[in-house]
Amino acid sequence: MPAVDGPLVEFFQLVPNARKPQKADRAVGGTIPARALRYCEAITGASGFGWYVFLPMPFQVLWDGHDILWTYHGVDGWLSLSDAAQYPGFSARFDEIAPPDTRGFSPTFLGRSIQPGGIQVWTGCIAKTAPGWSLLVRGVANIAKSLAYEGFEGIIETDHWFGPLFTNLRIIKTDTPIEFRCDIPFLQVQPVPKEVYADKFLRNFVVKEMHELTAQNWAQFRRTVVEPNVAPQRKRGRYAVSVRRGEPL
C-alpha cells in the first residue's frame, strides 16, 4: 500500500459549484432499504467507498440517432453539440485566472464522441491523488441507473495526470430528452493503489474445484454458512457486526 503524506485526494473545483465533492454515503442518501443498511455490510461498504462528484448545473441532452442537441435553463431552444461545448461563461473566467501560456485551453463541458450517441461530460473538477494512487471513475454505487444512457468506467492515474475529471456516456434512447441533475451525485470516484490493478498482480490467481477444498476451507464454510442456519436463535447481521468490529467470523 503506497504511503500517503497529506491528503489522499485533492479536488480542484474549477467550475463554481455549491455541491462540492463529498464522502460517499453508506445509505446513498437514504435510498438503501433499512434492512440492507442494518444487516448488509457488503452493500453499505460498497456504497460508502470513495467520494461523490456532482455536476455544476442541470441540463438536457437529446439524440435523434444522428445529431446530438443539448439545452439548459435560460436558453431558448436546443443547441447543437456538433463537436464540443463550454460551460456557460467558463472560458472567459478561465482566461482571466490562468497563466498566459494556458489561456484558451479551458476544458470543455460537453464533448461529442465519434461513437454513435457517445458524449463526454466534465464535472467541473480536477482531481489529484497521492503518489502511487489512481481513481476508479464510475457511476454511483447502489442507486437506480438511468434507462436512457449508460456510463463507462475508467481508471485514471491522477497522481500524475492533472486534467479534467470527466466520464464517457453512451445514449441509448433516441428522440427522448434526457435530464442530467446537479442535486444528486453524478459520479463516484474510488481510490485504488496502482499495484492492485497491475497485470502481474491480477495474474496471481488460481481456480479450484470442489474436491480440492481443504479441511480449513470446509471449516470456514461451516462457520459462514452452516452454523448461522442451524443456530436455535440466529443473529442477523453477524457478518456486518464482525466487519465493523474488525473481528474474524
Instruction: Tell me the pLDDT tens digit for each residue of 175-186.
Output: 999 999 999 999
113-161: pLDDT as tens digits: 999 999 999 999 999 999 999 999 999 999 999 999 999 999 999 999 9
The CA distances from residue 114 to 75, 129, 169, 191, 242, in Å, are: 26, 30, 12, 29, 49
Domain ranges in the chain are: 9-201, 206-245
pLDDT at 149: 97
Q: Which residues, in sequence order, are CB contacts of 242 under 8 Å at separation 6+? A: 248, 249
What band does 231 get if pLDDT is binned at 50, 70 and 90?
confident
Q: Which of 226, 197, 216, 172 is nearest to 63 (CA)?
A: 172
For 9-201, the fitting CATH number among 2.70.40.10, 2.40.50.140, 1.10.3720.10, 1.10.443.10 is 2.70.40.10
pLDDT at 107: 97
Share of the chain above pLDDT 90, in %: 84
What band does 241 get if pLDDT is binned at 50, 70 and 90?
low
222 has a pLDDT exceeding 70: yes
Least reliable range by pLDDT among 102-111, 168-177, 235-244: 235-244
236 has a pLDDT exceeding 90: no
pLDDT at 120: 98
9-63: pLDDT as tens digits: 999 999 999 999 999 999 999 999 888 888 889 999 999 999 999 999 999 999 9
Cβ atoms of residues 57 and 179 within 8 Å: no
Residue 32 backbone phi and psi in degrees, to 5: -70, 135
243 has a pLDDT exceeding 80: no
Q: Which of 86, 79, 75, 80 is nearest to 109 (CA)?
A: 86
pLDDT at 239: 59
Q: Which residues, in sequence order, are CB contacts of 194 under 8 Å at separation 6+? A: 2, 132, 133, 134, 157, 159
Angle, alpha carbons 184-29-196 (nearest 5°): 85
pLDDT at 240: 59
238 has a pLDDT exceeding 70: no
Share of the chain above pLDDT 70, in %: 94
Q: Which of 147, 141, 128, 130 is nearest to 187 (CA)?
A: 141
pLDDT at 13: 97
pLDDT at 246: 64
